[in-house]
Structure 1
Amino acid sequence: MFDYRIKVEDKEGNCVLEADFEILVWYYGPRVMIDRTATTALVWCDDNDEHENWFLSQSPFVILDYILGKSTMRDIVLKGKTSLLHYDFKNNKYIFEKELNKEELLGFELPHEESYLGDVYKKKDELLKAIKKL
């Protein structure tokens, strides 16, 4: 659990975030990942030939509610402090782009309003225990 070490750098190469993540939704690649404290989530946005765009959201209560089935992926993005970053395929790096306000967020294709976790993640009880230990 929490096997994916992710480091996010700014454009100058300074570390913005480094944490271990667990993938909650996988669909042709990771779509939602959370850190060990369930305070930070990476939510896939879109991609092209050079990179993937990700939302970096910090919304602890909404992320925990998502795991419990009380909120959606869309809630994570819209109800927290959300930034845009991209994963650069060529350099194998996550690079921080900018913080997004709500108006900017609404310009992106967001997760569906009904994007609940449901039964997609099979180790939910184990995950909740791991989070509570921290």
Structure 2
Amino acid sequence: MRNLTRSIIACTAVLGLAACGGISIDRERPDEFAVQRQAPLVVPPDFHLVPPQPGAPRPAEGTASQQALEALFGGSAPRSNVETSALDQAGEAAPGIRSSIGDVDTYTVDKGTAVQAIIAAPEGDGQAARAVIPG
């Protein structure tokens, strides 16, 4: 009985898949590229641009290291109201805060090896996780 049920289900699935191949979907559809009109090509205005002189240095906005620092840490972009109020509530930070973090005079709190173990723990679904209580 069990094999008969499995064979009926398998035959039904095979017939269903075979029927999908015989369906013809040749109806009249609009061409998706012809639906929207293409704008004509237009030559942009001149804007009084001067072509570069051969052998002239490229007009750069600073060195590569300055451009990298600008990209990483931002520049003179205006701050939002939320950022300004958060900075006002936090107090004035030193301008070179990233440089002074590793200084020996910087006050840090040692959280111990438990926090280091948590941070260094491998990623996973937690199935193998276990708590070890130092004793």
Is TM-score (shorter-chain normalized) higher than 0.5? no
Higher-Rg structure is 2
**Normalising by the residue count of structure 2, what TM-score does the alignment of the two structures yield?**
0.17
**Normalising by the residue count of structure 1, what TM-score does the alignment of the two structures yield?**
0.17
Q: Which has the higher contact order (CA 8 A, sep 6+)?
A: 1
Counting helix residues as a fraction of each chain, which structure ranks higher? 2
